[in-house]
Amino acid sequence: MLQVFGLVVPLFGLVVLGYLSGRLRRIPVEGLAWLNFFVVYIALPALFFRLLSTTPVEEFSNTAYLATTTAVTFAVFWACVAVARWRSGDIREAAIQGFAGSYGNIGYMGPPLAIAAFGPEAGVPVALVFCIDNSMHFAHAPLLMALGGERGTSIPRLIGGILWKIVSHPFIIATVVGITAAVYAWQPPAPVNDLLERLSAATAPCALFAMGVTAALRPLRRVPVELVWLVPIKLLVHPLAMYLVVSRVPDLPLVWLHTAVLMAALPAATNVFVIAQSYDVWKERASSAVVISTLISIMTVTGFLYLVQEGVV
């Protein structure tokens, strides 16, 4: 257990430092814009490229892994949407609750946690899961909002907007470029590679600190009743379902299984709040879902890593 704490304390400590900084120094949230830009458009793409460009090509063809991880995540998503729709009758609110119960912080927390816990070989499954899951989420959000009565966009423009968000996302571009480099066994010149290495090293501290500050600048006014079932689904049901299904994939490396479960065990992503805010739906409760699930995940993620360390899973 001490080894596990030694692993997670520095990483979650960055989130705590960000949270305390945000609470003590009330700098406007707009001050995070450039840091978030650096993480999303520069540091994380550099990390993904470095990890993927040195990976054996055959590892990218594990379609069974991609199919099962995606199926589990979206089974959880649609289950949450169905329950929320049954409770409230509003498909737009149900969509945000579906994201809160299934859309983990796989961008900011996924890469640093997985690589720290399981080594560089976890980078490939992290990147692949991220690209597929994010693409599906980019598609579901506008479609469900349109079904719920969001107006002003024609069907062709809606589909075009979805496709553009997918193909232009910096993580997906970096993944495609990294896989292409691996296929052709190409590596950048030494100075460029050194720059990419430095950018990759900045990913974890910047991303996790920014996440903590963001949580601090969205004060928790009350605990929504929906979180009584959404948070356990996100932190317990989702990873358990992922383990039960993905563990049946034949000849799957253990690191890939552990990475899939860890990605499922992560708390609700800050993008859940961003989506809620952009559509003006369930905003404050989405913020509460992010903050509360992040705090509780310190215990649940630590527990999962301890089970891995002990060889239980």
Cβ contact 107:44 at 8 Å: yes
Q: 224 lies in a domain?
A: no
Could you list the residue range(s) of the whole structural domain that residue 287 is in?
A: 10-219+230-309
- Residue 203 pLDDT: 85
Q: 263 lies in a domain?
A: yes
What does the pLDDT look like over 9-23, one tens digit per residue? Answer: 888 888 889 889 988
Is there a domain that residue 124 lies in? yes
Give the model's confidence band at 151: pLDDT under 50 very low, under 70 low, under 90 confident, else very high.
Answer: low
**pTM listed for this prediction:** 0.85
Distance of alpha carbon 300 from alpha carbon 306, whole angstroms: 10
- What would the mean pLDDT of 93-111 be, rounded to a whole number? 90
What confidence tens digit (pLDDT) does each residue in 271-285 have?
888 788 778 888 888
b/e burial code for range 216-249 (CB count within 10 A of at least 16 → b) = bbbeeeeebebbebbbebbbebbbebbbeebeeb
Residue 64 within a domain: yes
Residue 153 lies in a domain: yes
Token couple for 282: 């369930």
Task: Tell me, yes or no, whether 3 lies in a domain.
Answer: no
For residue 214, being part of any structural domain is answered with yes
Residue 53 within any structural domain of the chain: yes
**What integer is the mean pLDDT of 116-121?**
90
Mean pLDDT of the chain: 87
Residue 44 is part of a domain; what is its CATH number? 1.20.1530.20
* Position 234 confidence tier, pLDDT thresholds 50, 70, 90: very high
Predicted confidence at residue 258, as pLDDT, reads: 97
Q: How many domains does the chain have?
A: 1
